[in-house]
């Protein structure tokens, strides 16, 4: 395997999406930063718990309190070491602070965002990659696996990709605003028939929209148009026969799905 490699994933709508797999170097940088942050949090927690106790008298009740707080401190350390990555990967779309700095992100193999179950599996089994010598086993698996997966990724069905393969989200938002029109407006029934994975498929498509060759873009436009017309049961006032209106339909759908999701519907 090269320092980085490419992988093509197929969405449920049979749309091929090319992603650049993160290499060992960027993943090591991300892991190093995350571990530094974890131990910094643990160190601060240790100071907050231990120093006040050392200033108290050492009678029986204080010794008992020390034992209880010591056990709680050990429990907190384990929760931080195991829960840090899970929390950030689920709440921040597959990115911990270290991964964000390194420009990488965790996705499910189908290209969908990471869910809680997958995050738990990949991070709990990630402890096996730590052995026998600080992620040597995990790095070895990443270099051998075509998708750059360590043991936790294999079990969870996840991949780690580089962000630089995508267009800047700000540019995509501008493009969506330009393509979307008031002609296509979707109600809660239309939007409720779509899933978070559908929104992610549209996002992936528009992130690569301007980089695609024209014939490939038109082909995907038609595929997505028919898929989402059928899924939403949307009845267009005028049949959508050209690629420009197809792009407007999909951009409008993505716009409304984003608003629908942000309102917690």
Per-residue pLDDT of the chain (265 residues; tens, 9 = 90+): 344 466 665 555 455 566 778 888 888 899 899 999 999 998 988 888 777 666 665 554 566 766 777 788 888 888 888 899 999 998 888 899 999 898 888 988 877 778 899 999 988 887 666 655 556 666 667 777 777 788 888 888 888 888 754 455 667 788 999 999 999 989 999 999 998 778 878 887 888 788 777 887 888 899 899 999 999 999 988 899 899 999 999 999 999 998 888 775 5
How far is the C-alpha of 20 from the C-alpha of 164, rounded, in Å?
Answer: 8
User: Is the Cβ–Cβ distance between 162 and 21 less than 8 Å?
Assistant: yes
For the chain, the structural domain boundaries read: 5-164, 169-262
Cα(28)–Cα(137) distance, rounded to whole angstroms? 13
Residue 45 tokens read as 């927690």
Global confidence as pTM = 0.62
For the chain, first and last CA: distance in Å?
43
At residue 7, φ and ψ (nearest 5 deg) are -135, 140
- Return contacts of 198-202, CB within 8 angstroms, 24+ apart: 198/228, 198/231, 198/257, 199/254, 199/257, 199/258, 199/261, 200/111, 200/112, 200/113, 201/11, 201/12, 201/13, 201/15, 201/111, 202/250, 202/253, 202/254, 202/257
CA 162 to chain centre: 11
Which residues are registered as beta bridge partners of 7?
19
CB distance 104 to 138 below 8 Å: no
Q: Which two tokens stand for residue 203?
A: 């996002």
């Amino acid at each position: 395997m090269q320092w980085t490699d490419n992988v093509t994933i197929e969405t449920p709508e049979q749309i091929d999406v090319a992603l650049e797999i993160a290499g060992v170097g960027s993943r090591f940088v991300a892991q190093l930063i995350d571990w530094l942050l974890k131990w910094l949090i643990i160190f601060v927690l240790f100071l907050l718990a231990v120093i006040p106790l050392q200033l108290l008298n050492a009678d029986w009740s204080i010794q008992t309190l020390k034992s209880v707080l010591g056990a709680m401190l050990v429990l907190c350390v384990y929760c931080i070491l195991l829960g840090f990555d899970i929390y950030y990967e689920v709440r921040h779309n597959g990115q911990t602070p270290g991964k964000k700095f390194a420009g990488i992100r965790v996705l499910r193999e189908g290209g969908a965002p990471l869910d809680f179950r997958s995050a738990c599996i990949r991070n709990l089994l990630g402890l096996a990659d730590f052995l026998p010598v600080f992620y040597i086993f995990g790095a070895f698996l990443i270099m051998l696996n075509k998708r750059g997966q360590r043991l936790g990724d294999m079990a969870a069905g996840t991949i780690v990709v580089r962000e630089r393969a995508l267009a800047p989200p700000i540019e995509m938002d501008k493009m969506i605003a330009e393509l979307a029109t008031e002609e296509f407006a979707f109600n809660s029934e239309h939007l409720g028939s779509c899933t978070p994975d559908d929104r992610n498929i549209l996002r992936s498509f528009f992130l690569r929209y301007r980089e695609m060759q024209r014939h490939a873009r038109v082909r995907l436009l038609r595929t997505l148009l028919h898929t989402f017309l059928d899924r939403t049961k949307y009845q267009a006032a005028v049949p959508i026969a050209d690629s420009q209106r197809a792009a407007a339909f999909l951009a409008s759908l993505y716009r409304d799905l984003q608003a629908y999701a942000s309102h917690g519907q």
